[in-house]
């Protein structure tokens, strides 16, 4: 239904664009409606263009893959959700489609692995459809997370296997213990009639017309008293009576068990003249019960072992039934919420809600709990909450996930939540951020002072001996390096603490690039920096942020270039669609694309996926492991993305890299 509705809305949007004079308003309403449908979908929905660029990303995609919509839009599907080992195949498929129009995966259900923002691989079910829009083809992927389903399938298979084993055991017992019927006369206990099942009870013996006490001579001493009691008018019912009998080969006596009923029969007159015997051999059942008892004992032992394992898990485990009553809480869970482990079975979801707090210190409502959401059928992948411990009121940071427990028909029987206390990690992370911010702040003042004096001394080099001049120049370079580090740390802390303020102003992008290149090449560095192209371009952006980005890209290119080689800088104005900008209409809008290229070390292919991560250094433990904090590209990517631009790169190890930054050209008119 979601797919049909989505297709109808998209085609409606397409028709509005083609036929309506009020396209923007209609399109906005349709787009907003489409966004509501996408965000209400139970599936993760990702829309991609023919180049592999993500054009749409709903809330379920955010929850499944960890990327926000703002982060995902404009990225490639390959870099965002495709595992590294599958990217070549994915890219070849896109290239084949562009060349031939062949897309064999359309309309099929595929089960494969995807990759979330943290790099963890997730099993998914994928269905892809294609829609033709005015600005090109869209591939729309509907994605289900199979992680919980696969776990439940494994559990279901185990349960079915156990049930099948029991069925086979009892089927064997029943097939080898049929009911036998016989009629024994009062005269000499002769067997007047015996059905085939009764014959099967004593294979190899002649029964019909023979005295029973002769037919079973070895157990005659057990049978005769029973027959005489029956002839006395008593109905006899014995269960699992043991008899020691000869086997068909007349070997040693063997134990057999039978359940039988003897009923006195009066065929003529008041006298009893026959005995009806209905017998079932229960030898297999008796032996099976012994085995079942052994299995039950083993099962109880295994259950105790499993409970011991759960109770000794470092992670807290909470299980509730469909009524919200807790049925299992391990020791770590009881300690986390601060209740006595012996009374956790008396707890309900209401008790848990009283222990959880929102970010604003408000107690959680029952319906907000992870277990409550799981009971409603939601899959809670990662959830961070604050828990206030019952016995001392201490607040702990907790990260948890939850899922529903279902029966074979899919009905929800209960829910399970696994939680981990991450208080220490959260405090450490906060301390790290605060330390970096404090360090950057404290360093800023002395560095500014030293920078000022170094600049004054640098302007008074006439008449200074060469050795002193070299020391002053070294001092100036060191101060500049310190200033760069402080600036980088300041950006990192502002980003991490959500305090990065980017002001927009109308900028001449080409003049800014030229100024940064001139400043950075003022001193010889052994690398030739060549400006290949510098188109005039006006953009709306943060001046300091863009300067920081250009400096970072140029600094990296110079650092990883081979001595005597060159770095090429170009700024070109191109159509937005050619620059790969998300949402660019055909023929509408232009982008200013800055490209910085070097022919140096390049980036190893297996490390390219993490190149924009904080503190990640792609050349660690290689011959190109130069100085640096590993934050330049992280800062640049954050700045560019937050300003509405796009940043990407191409790189081949040993042959160099080319980094690109694209911003929309500012509309003409006043800033």
Q: Residue 38 has which token pair?
A: 């996408």
DSSP code at position 268: S
Mean of pLDDT values over 637-647? 91
pLDDT at res. 583: 44
Could you tell me which residue, 542 or 21, shows the higher pLDDT?
Answer: 542
Can you give the pLDDT at residue 488?
67
Q: 3-state class of 533 per DSSP?
A: strand
Residue 55 and residue 583 in contact, taking contact as beta carbons nearer than 8 Å: yes
Mean pLDDT for 103-110 is 85
* Edge-to-edge order in the sheet of strand 528-534: 528-534, 566-575, 590-598, 656-664, 646-652
Q: Show the tokens assigned to 224.
A: 């005769």
| pLDDT-derived band at 100, boundaries 50, 70, 90 | confident
At 430, the pLDDT band (50, 70, 90 cuts) reads low
Q: Which residue has the tokens 């890219």?
A: 91
H or E element that contains 351: helix 349-353
Distance set, CA 552 to CA 79, 506, 661 (Å): 22, 22, 12
Instruction: Answer for the pair 612, 635: CB distance below 8 angstroms, yes or no.
Output: no
238, two tokens: 């014995």
For 296-341, what is the HEC assignment?
A: HHHHHHHHHHHHHHHHCCCCEEEEEECCCEEEEECHHHHHHHCCCH
**CA–CA distance, 344 with 329 (Å, rounded to integer):** 6
16: pLDDT confidence band, cut at 50, 70 and 90?
very low
In angstroms, the CA 122 to CA 145 distance is 7
For the record, the structure tokens of 563 come out as: 């001595």
Select the more confidently predicted residue: 80 or 386: 80
Query: What residues does 130 pair with on adjacent strands?
Result: 139
Question: What is residue 636's DSSP assignment?
Answer: H
Instruction: Give 178's pLDDT tier (boundaries 50, 70, 90).
Output: low
Position with higher pLDDT, 471 vs 93: 93
Maximum C-alpha span of the chain? 149
> Model confidence at 15, in pLDDT bands (50, 70, 90)?
very low
CB atoms within 10 A of CB 527: 19
**CA dist list (Å): 71 to 375, 499, 541:** 31, 18, 18
Who wins on pLDDT, 15 or 329?
A: 329
What pLDDT does 216 receive? 87
Side-chain half-sphere CA neighbours of 441 within 13 A: 8
pLDDT greater at residue 137 or residue 340: 137
Quickly tell me which residue has 């012996």 as its tokens.
342
Question: How far is residue 27's CA from residue 620's CA, in Å, rounded to a whole number?
Answer: 49
322-378 pLDDT, tens digit per residue, is 888 888 888 888 888 877 666 666 788 888 877 776 655 677 788 888 888 889 988
Q: Which residues of 115-149 are buried (b: 16+ CB within 10 A; e: fewer)?
A: bbeeeeebebebbbeeeeeebeebbbbbbbbbbbb
Q: Which two tokens stand for residue 515?
A: 């100024």
- Distance between CA 545 and CA 630 in Å, rounded? 17
Would you say residue 25 has pLDDT above 60?
A: no
Distance in angstroms (rounded) separating the CA atoms of residues 639 and 444: 21
Q: Do 454 and 472 meet the contact criterion of CB atoms below 8 Å apart?
A: yes
Question: Is the C-alpha dihedral spanning 538, 543, 549, 553 positive or negative?
Answer: positive
Of 220-224, 617-621, 637-641, minimum mean pLDDT range: 617-621
* Cross-sheet strand order for the sheet of 136-145: 54-57, 44-49, 136-145, 121-133, 109-115
Structure token pair of residue 558: 């110079």
DSSP 3-state assignment of 526? coil
Q: Decide if pLDDT at 573 tops 90.
A: yes
Mean pLDDT of the chain: 79
CB 625 within 8 A of CB 643: no
What pLDDT is recorded for position 477?
64
What average pLDDT score do residues 151-160 get? 79
Q: Is 587 exposed, middle or buried (0-12, 13-18, 19+ CB in 10 A)?
A: exposed
User: How many CB atoms sit inside 10 A of residue 361's CB?
Assistant: 9
The one-character DSSP state at 216 is T
Long-range contacts from 374-377, C-beta under 8 angstroms, 24+ separation: 374/402, 374/403, 374/404, 374/415, 374/416, 374/417, 375/320, 375/322, 375/324, 375/404, 375/412, 375/414, 375/415, 377/404, 377/412
Q: Which two tokens stand for residue 145?
A: 């997370």
- Give pLDDT, residue 370: 85
Query: Secondary structure of the chain: what % helix, strand, coil (to 5)?
Result: 45, 25, 30
Can you tell me the distance from the alpha carbon of 242 to that of 254, in angstroms, rounded to the nearest whole number? 10
Confidence tier at 2 by pLDDT (50, 70, 90): very low
Residue 569 in this model has a pLDDT that exceeds 90: yes
Distance from C-alpha of 231 to C-alpha of 264, rounded to nearest angstrom: 6
Q: Which of 157, 202, 158, 175 is nearest to 288 (CA)?
A: 175
- How far is Cα 378 from Cα 153, in angstroms, rounded to an integer? 17
Distance between CA atoms of 424 and 420, rounded to whole angstroms? Answer: 11
pLDDT band at 428 (very low <50, low <70, confident <90, very high): low
Of the chain, the percentage scoring pLDDT greater than 70 comes to: 76
Q: Is the Cβ–Cβ distance between 339 and 390 less than 8 Å?
A: yes
Question: 264: which 2 tokens?
Answer: 């006195």
Strand partners, 132: 137
Residue 661: pLDDT above 70?
Answer: yes
Average pLDDT score over residue span 428-443: 59
The better pLDDT of the pair 200, 485 is held by: 200
pLDDT class for 174, splitting at 50, 70, 90? very low
Using CA atoms in the order 189, 190, 193, 199, what is the torsion angle rounded to 10 degrees?
A: 90
Helices and strands, number each (H, E), in the chain: 19, 23
The reported pLDDT for the residue numbered 295 is: 83
Q: Is 110 helix (H, G, I), strand (E, B) or coil?
A: strand
Closest CA to 527 of 421, 454, 600: 600
User: How much is the pLDDT for 410?
Assistant: 87
Report how far apart, in Å, the C-alpha atoms of 389 and of each of 15, 208, 319 are: 58, 80, 19
Mean pLDDT computed over 38-60: 87
Asked whether the beta carbons of 440 and 631 are under 8 A apart, the reply is: no
pLDDT exceeds 80 at position 426? no
| Tokens 């529903």, residue located | 404
Q: What mean pLDDT is predicted for residues 283-299? A: 84
Residue 242 has pLDDT above 50, yes or no: yes
In this predicted structure, the answer to whether residue 538 has a pLDDT above a threshold of 90 is yes
Mean pLDDT value across residues 300-309: 79
How many Cβ atoms sit within 10 Å of the Cβ of residue 503?
A: 9
- Do residues 216 and 245 lie in contact, with contact meaning Cβ atoms separated by under 8 Å? yes
pLDDT in tens, 247-282: 877 678 888 999 989 999 887 778 888 989 999 888
CA distances from 205 to 158, 216, 255, 309 (A): 45, 9, 17, 56
Nearest by Cα to 162 from 8, 55, 295: 295
Average pLDDT over residues 132-154: 83
- How many angstroms separate the CA atoms of 515 and 511, rounded? 6
């Amino acid at each position: 239904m979601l797919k049909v509705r989505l297709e109808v809305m998209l085609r409606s949007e397409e028709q509005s664009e083609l036929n309506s004079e009020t396209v923007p308003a209609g399109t906005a309403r349709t787009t907003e409606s489409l966004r509501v449908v996408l965000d209400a979908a139970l599936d993760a929905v990702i829309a991609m263009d023919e180049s592999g660029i993500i054009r749409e990303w709903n809330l379920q995609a955010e929850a499944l893959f960890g990327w926000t919509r703002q982060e995902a839009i404009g990225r490639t599907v390959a870099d965002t959700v495709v595992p590294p080992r599958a990217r070549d195949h994915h890219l070849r498929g896109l290239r084949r489609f562009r060349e031939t129009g062949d897309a064999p995966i359309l309309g099929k259900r595929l089960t494969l692995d995807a990759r979330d923002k943290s790099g963890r691989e997730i099993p998914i079910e994928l269905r892809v459809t294609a829609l033709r829009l005015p600005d090109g083809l869209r591939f729309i992927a509907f994605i289900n997370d199979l992680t919980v389903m696969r776990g439940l399938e494994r559990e279901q298979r185990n349960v079915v296997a156990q049930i099948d084993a029991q069925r086979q055991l009892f089927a064997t017992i029943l097939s080898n213990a049929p009911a036998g019927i016989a009629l024994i006369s009062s005269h000499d206990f002769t067997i007047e009639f015996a059905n085939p099942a009764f014959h099967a009870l004593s294979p190899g013996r002649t029964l019909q017309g023979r005295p029973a006490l002769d037919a079973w001579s070895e157990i005659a001493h057990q049978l005769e008293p029973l027959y005489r009691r029956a002839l006395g008018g008593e109905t006899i019912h014995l269960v699992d009576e043991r008899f020691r009998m000869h086997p068909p080969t007349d070997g040693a006596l063997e134990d057999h068990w039978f359940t039988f009923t003897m009923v006195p029969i009066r065929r003529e007159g008041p006298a009893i003249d026959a005995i009806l015997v209905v017998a079932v051999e229960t030898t297999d059942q008796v032996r099976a019960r012994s085995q079942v008892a052994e299995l039950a004992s083993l099962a109880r032992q295994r259950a105790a072992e499993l409970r011991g394992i759960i109770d000794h898990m470092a992670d807290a485990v909470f299980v509730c039934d469909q009524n919200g009553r807790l049925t299992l809480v391990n020791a770590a869970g009881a300690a986390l919420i601060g209740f006595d482990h012996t009374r956790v079975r008396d707890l309900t979801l209401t008790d848990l809600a009283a222990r959880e707090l929102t970010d604003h210190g408000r107690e959680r409502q029952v319906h907000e709990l992870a277990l409550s959401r799981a009971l409603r059928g939601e899959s809670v992948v990662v959830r961070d909450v604050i828990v206030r411990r019952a016995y001392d009121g201490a607040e702990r940071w907790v990260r948890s996930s939850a899922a529903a427990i279902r029966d074979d028909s899919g009905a929800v029987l209960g829910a399970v939540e696994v939680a981990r206390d991450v208080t220490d990690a959260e405090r450490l992370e906060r301390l790290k951020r605060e330390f970096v911010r404090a360090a950057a702040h404290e360093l800023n003042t002395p560095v500014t002072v030293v920078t000022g004096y170094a600049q004054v001394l640098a302007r008074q080099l006439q008449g200074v001996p060469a050795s002193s001049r070299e020391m002053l120049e070294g001092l100036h370079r060191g101060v500049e390096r310190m200033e760069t580090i402080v600036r980088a740390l300041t950006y990192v802390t502002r980003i991490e603490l959500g305090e990065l303020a980017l002001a927009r102003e109308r900028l001449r992008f080409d003049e800014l690039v030229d100024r940064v290149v001139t400043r950075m090449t003022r001193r010889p560095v052994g690398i030739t920096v060549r400006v290949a192209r510098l188109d005039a371009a006006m953009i709306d952006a943060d001046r300091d942020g863009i300067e920081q980005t250009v400096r970072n890209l140029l600094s990296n290119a110079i650092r990883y270039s081979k001595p005597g080689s060159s770095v090429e800088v170009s700024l070109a104005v191109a159509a937005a669609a050619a620059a790969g900008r998300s949402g660019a209409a055909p023929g509408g809008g232009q982008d200013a694309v800055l490209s910085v290229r070097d022919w140096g070390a390049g980036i190893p292919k297996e490390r390219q996926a993490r190149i924009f991560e904080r503190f990640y250094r792609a050349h660690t433990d290689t011959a190109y492991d130069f100085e640096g904090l590993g934050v330049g590209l992280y800062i640049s990517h954050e700045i560019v993305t937050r300003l509405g631009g796009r940043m990407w790169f191409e790189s081949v190890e040993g042959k160099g890299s080319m980094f690109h930054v694209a911003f929309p050209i500012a509309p003409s008119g006043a800033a």
